[in-house]
Structure 1
Amino acid sequence: MTKYLFEANYVGEGIKGLMRDGGTKRRDAVDEALKSVGGSLESFYYAFGETDVLGIFDIPDQADAVALSLMINSTGAVNLRLKPLMSPQDIDDAAQKTPSYRAPGQ
């Protein structure tokens, strides 16, 4: 499972739907969407300012995350952004690798 940080903003009809349905029902909708692709919701918070909603979820693989993001964004009611999260061990593993690279102009 991969963890993702999600950030979302309600847009147009999405704002009206949030006002009509309430925050709990929208969180439940996210939870059900994640379950449909084998994922689970770790945390879910509302905020104000630059971001309306943020949280963390686990999902089996990148393709499931992209499929869910495409489906949600295609509604036009929510602008969803995902960021994959890495553990300290993931960084340790990456630091042990030695890729080849030539910088521009060298």
Structure 2
Amino acid sequence: MAKYLVCGKYIGEGVQGLLSEGGSGRRSEIHELVGSLGGRVESVYYAFGDYDIYGIFDMPDNNSMAAFSLRASASGMLSVTCIPLMQPEDIDEAAKKTSRYRPPGVDWLP
């Protein structure tokens, strides 16, 4: 399964819903939605700052994560950002791949 950091910001009526249902009520809904898509919730945290809620999810694939984002955002009461997370060993493998790239405005390749 792929791991994602999910950041959410409640918008308008979403804030009112959070106030009336509480954080634990919304957490239960998150578990329900993620589970219905074949995923697993590792953690959910509320915060203040740029985002109101953070979660770490294990999802079967990118399509499942996109389905979560679409469903959660469809109400217009929550803005969702999903960030794929990688293990350090994944970066090791990426660094080993050979590639060529010429930056814009540069007429040479190193």
Q: TM-score range by the shorter chain?
A: over 0.9
Q: Which runs of 5+ in 2 are unaligned?
A: none
Instruction: In structure 2, give the amino acid aligned to 1:3.
Output: K
Instruction: In structure 1, give the amino acid aligned to 2:16.
Output: K
Aligned mates of 1:77, 1:58 — CA distance in 2? 24
SS in 2 for 1:22: helix
Aligned length: 106
SS in 1 for 2:79: strand
SS in 2 for 1:48: coil
For residues 14-61 of structure 1, the C-alpha deviation after alignment (integer angstroms, 9 at most, x for no partner) is 111111111101001001100011001001001112211012111000
TM-score by length of 2: 0.92
Counterpart in the other structure of 2:46: 46
Counterpart in the other structure of 2:62: 62
TM-score by length of 1: 0.95
Counterpart in the other structure of 2:3: 3
SS in 1 for 2:18: helix
- Please list every run of at least 4 consecutive aligned residues from structure 1 whose deviation after the TM superposition is greater than 6 angstroms: none
Percent identical: 48
Q: Once superposed, what is the RMSD of the aligned Cα atoms?
A: 0.9
SS in 1 for 2:24: helix
Aligned mates of 1:74, 1:14 — CA distance in 2? 12
Q: How does 1:27-42 map to 2 (within 5 A)?
A: 27-42=27-42
Counterpart in the other structure of 1:95: 95
Aligned mates of 1:69, 1:53 — CA distance in 2? 14
Deviation at 1:102, TM superposition (A): 1.8
Deviation at 1:104, TM superposition (A): 1.3
Instruction: In structure 2, give the amino acid aligned to 1:74.
Output: A
Counterpart in the other structure of 1:81: 81
Deviation at 1:92, TM superposition (A): 0.6
